[in-house]
Amino acid sequence: MRDRLAAEELGELGVRAEVRAGSVVVTGTVPSSECRETLLRTVREALAGLPVHTDVVVAETASPDHAEDLP
Burial classification of residue 44, based on how many CB atoms lie within 10 Å of its CB (0-12 exposed, 13-18 middle, 19 or more buried): middle
Q: How many CA atoms lie within 13 A of 37 on its CB side?
A: 3
Q: Is residue 37 part of a domain?
A: yes
Range of the domain at 9: 2-58
Q: Is residue 51 part of a domain?
A: yes
Contact 35, 61 (CB under 8 A): no
18-69, pLDDT tens digit by residue? 888 888 898 888 888 888 888 888 888 888 888 989 888 888 777 777 787 8
Number of domains in the chain: 1
Position with higher pLDDT, 70 vs 63 = 70
Q: 38 to each of 17, 64, 68, how far by Cα in Å?
A: 15, 27, 34
pLDDT of residue 23: 87
Q: How many CA atoms lie within 13 A of 2 on its CB side?
A: 10
Q: Is the pLDDT of residue 2 over 70?
A: no
Write the CATH number for 8: 3.30.1340.30
